[in-house]
Structure 1
Amino acid sequence: MMKHSYLLVLLICLFSGDLFAQQKPDSLYQVKGFVIVAPKPDGVDEFVKFINKELAPRKVNTLILRVDYNYQFKSHPELRDSAALSESDARKILEACRKNNINIIPEINLLGHQSRAAKTGMLLKAYPEFNETPWIKMPATAADYKWPNADNLYCLSYCPLYPGVHKIIFDLVDEIMDVFEAKAFHAGMDEVFYLGEDKCPRCAGRDKAVLFANEVQTIRDHLAEKNRELWIWGDRLLDGRAAGIGEWAGSYNDTYRAIDMIPKDVVICDWQYEQDNQTPVYFAIKGFRVVTCSRSHPQVAVNQVEDLYRSRAISGRTLKSRFYGIAEMIDSPASEFINANYSRATSSTSGDNAQWNTFKAMFDKMNQLEQRDAK
């Protein structure tokens, strides 16, 4: 009887994966990420070197590459930037990442960020009818752009209810996913100031949280058709007033209630750059996998790495898996960041609170904790 009981226990252990000899510790960082604007064609070779010499040694496993309209789209040539990556350029980046076990997640800013300062993005240039706020007059030059302003202009948005808008943007999404052989797509969706405007004949009077949630659902469902995953920035899902984090890091136009309306399989990239607001805990409790994102404050980044380590260490199994990882976010052009990283040039961001200093501090801390954990 004792012999049969021992065999039964042994079989249960084998099939449950809990046999001590076969146990594997949970990964400390499921996502070790790097987020950057895709290089222009003349910077591809330098970017590939950066992947090999800087990202690979730091064991980065996820590269979120903001492409936007910097690609020679075949489905919609009218949406190409004037100098855009070719398929061959994209393949060079893909091969470098594949060689170093780095997953590429391409990003095209959807919904918001359809303009920057005085520059309107290619989607609204080619299809001005998609503009949520066509009555807003853009500044003549970047020097004329001021914040705050009477129109509350930060970045333009497309109207998510305009007929045909999704057909066009999904053509771009599918094409860029195919060329990078990607399993996940980053839709941006951060800092959306224009949504459900009273003058919009389609959106007026609608609940902004519902509009935002429906757009997330629409993009997510399209990706799911090919078993692809949606990643977005998390700021529109935070109450900027209640949390005291302002209208960029959080929402002032009520979209934050969408957090209870969107699918839980969406991955949230939670950027809190200037303060360690510990908002990943909120997203995890709400049921989402969350990737903490740092940028330009080294000490904040170090604190966030320690938060992630602590959260995974003290949380139960369900919550632990939702603290998905951490990433360094670079919002300057790739060539500018790389030059600054190698001290070949100066940037508009200088001093200790520079992106390249944060990049180094964050990954140094990550590696330090990993080494300590391995002992």
Structure 2
Amino acid sequence: MKKLFALLLLVGGSVSLSFAKPLPADTLPVRGFCIAAPRAEGLVSFLKFIDTELAPRHINTLVLRVDFNYQFKSHPELRDAGALTEQQVKQLVQTCRKHNIRLIPQINLLGHQSWAGTIGNLLKIYPDFDETPWVKLPANYVWPNADGLYCKSYCPLHPGVHKIVFELVDEICDVFESTAFHAGMDEVFYIGEDKCPRCGGRDKAELFAGEVWAIRNHLAEKGRELWMWGDRLLDGKLTGLGAWEASMNNTHRAVDLVPKDVIICDWHYERPDKTPVYLAMKGLAVITCPWRMPANAKQQLKDMYDYRASATKEMKPRFRGMMQTVWTDAAGFLNEFYGTGKPQKDTVNTSANCFRAIFTR
């Protein structure tokens, strides 16, 4: 997902914030951790990490990016090789329940249907869903490129896409016994393309909001909540946030069109921008999401406390808390966290250090 940022070597400013003792579990409504679901061979180590690191830090929400790392029964053709079994997922469910951790699965919807030169399982098996079938994945991916290719999207108006997607969503939510689902929906560069026979000429903000509504309404039928990343709801040009942390293709106007009960995960990695205030003032509940810069994350945490302390009674519930994001696989993060992997060039700005900085043990 945000792997492109791993190529950047920007260093943030210094902000000090420390706590004399671990924070009470109810200090923030959401104290979250987001990471790729472990592979089957790494499950035992990850379960131990939940027991020994997440629980003592009062983490109460775990978002696992599953995508196709599950042995789907509804669509076995979409499974990754060596994907998690139902029994293995139940081990995750039981461990999280033991610690009162809310477990939320994620499948990337709309965008992120490819990465660099690799097509994702959905478009590989169902190529008709591709929003831009004329854009071919290169053997050697570079950015920028003539096609504006970052990641592929599925066409939100394709008549067959939601049947497949919603069957996956229902199955993964059922097996994870979850009351919420994270749909991703970040960094959507391809939407409403002129050459698409269904989307061409349509308003990109309305298309994006329509897909949010479709997913939200489907989840609501079973009492489930929709979580998503917030970058497409921010104006990249007006704010100077650019094309990744915000939108440069006019989806930002969807902020006034999406349902107000969607939970927005607002990620900013290179600067502690104060966009939660904007999103909250639009009526949306917001969770701030850092990645690898401890100094920035501490400022973001301080800001979240300040927002909640100074907000009106109407606004305060919209400032939900913090969620650490990790953009390596689970095994890679555990190697980083425990110092068992390859030495890193930057020993300060790491996701493990960021996690430790905001969630004390």
Question: TM-score by structure 1 length?
Answer: 0.89
2:122 maps to a residue whose letter is: L
- CA 347–89 in structure 1, closer or farther in 2 if over 3 Å, else same: farther
Q: Would the aligned equivalents of 2:35 and 2:327 in 1 still touch at CA under 8 Å?
A: yes
Structure 1 residue runs of 5 or longer lacking an equivalent are 1-24, 368-375
Quote the offset at 1:164 in angstroms: 1.1
Aligned counterpart in structure 2 of residue 217 of structure 1, from 196, 213, 217: 213
Q: What is the DSSP-based 3-state SS (H/G/I as helix, E as strand, rest coil) of the residue aligned with 2:197?
A: coil
Q: Which secondary structure state, in structure 1, belongs to the residue aligned with residue 283 of structure 2? A: coil
CA distance in 2, matches of 1:158, 1:349: 37
Deviations 1:82-139 (A, max 9, x none): 1211001101111110111100010000000000111111000000000000011102
Q: Which runs of 4+ in 1 moved over 3 A?
A: 347-350
Corresponding residue for 2:20?
A: none
Alignment partners' CA distance in 2, 1:347 and 1:353: 13
Partners of 2:120 and 2:344 in 1: CA distance: 23
* Larger of the two Rg values belongs to structure: 1
- Change beyond 3 A, Cα 1:349–1:72: farther
Deviations 1:314-353 (A, max 9, x none): 1111111110110000010000000110000127673211
Secondary structure of 2:108 counterpart:
strand
- Looking at structure 2, the residues matched to 71 and 119 of structure 1 have their Cα atoms a distance apart, in angstroms, of 19
The CA distance in 2 between the partners of 1:264 and 1:324, in whole Å, is 14
The residue aligned with 2:14 is none
1:13-162 map, 5 Å: 27-140=26-139, 144-162=140-158
Question: SS of the residue aligned with 2:359?
Answer: helix
How high is the sequence identity, in percent, across the aligned residues? 58
Matched, 1:272 2:271: no
Residue aligning to 1:163: 159
Correspondence for 1:321 = 317
Using the alignment, how far apart are the partners of 2:266 and 2:104 within structure 1? 16
State the distance in 1 between where 2:36 and 2:144 align.
Answer: 26
Distance 2:53 2:343 in 1: 19
Paired residue type of 1:191: E
Matches within 5 A, 1:132-281: 132-140=131-139, 144-281=140-277
CA contact (8 A) 2:105 2:181 kept: yes
Q: Larger % of helix: which?
A: 1
The amino acid that maps onto 2:315 is: L
Q: Once superposed, what is the RMSD of the aligned Cα atoms?
A: 1.3
Tell me if the contact between 2:270 and 2:296 (Cα under 8 Å) persists in the aligned partners.
yes
Question: 1:350 maps to what in 2?
Answer: 346
Aligned residue number for residue 329 of structure 2: 333
- CA–CA separation in structure 1 for the residues paired with 2:164 and 2:357: 40
| Residues 187 and 277 (structure 1), Cα distance of their counterparts in 2 relative to 1, 3 Å cut | same
AA at the equivalent of 2:318: R
Aligned-partner SS, 1:321: helix
Is the 2:103–2:176 contact (alpha carbons within 8 Å) kept by the matching residues of 1?
Answer: yes
Give the TM-score normalised by the residue count of structure 2.
0.92
Q: Do 2:57 and 2:359's aligned partners in 1 also have CA atoms closer than 8 Å?
A: yes
Structure 2, unmatched stretches of 5+, are: 1-23
For the residue of structure 1 that corresponds to 2:56, the secondary structure is coil
In the alignment, is the contact (CA less than 8 A) between 1:274 and 1:297 conserved in 2? Answer: yes
> Which digits, 9 at most, give the CA deviation of each residue in 1:156-191, with x for residues without a partner?
000000111000000000000000100000000000
Q: Give the secondary structure class of the aligned counterpart of 1:317.
A: coil
Query: What do the CA deviations read for 1:281-316 (whole angstroms, capped 9, x no partner)?
Result: 011111011000000110000000000111111111
The one of the two structures with greater contact order (alpha-carbon pairs below 8 A, sep at least 6) is 2
Contact 2:90/2:175 (<8 A) preserved: yes
- For residues 187-221 of structure 1, give each alpha carbon's deviation from its aligned partner in whole angstroms, at most 9, with x where no partner exists: 00000000000110000000000000000000000
Distance in structure 2 (CA, Å) of the matches to 1:128 and 1:214: 22
The separation in 2 between residues aligned to 1:307 and 1:137, in whole angstroms, is 43
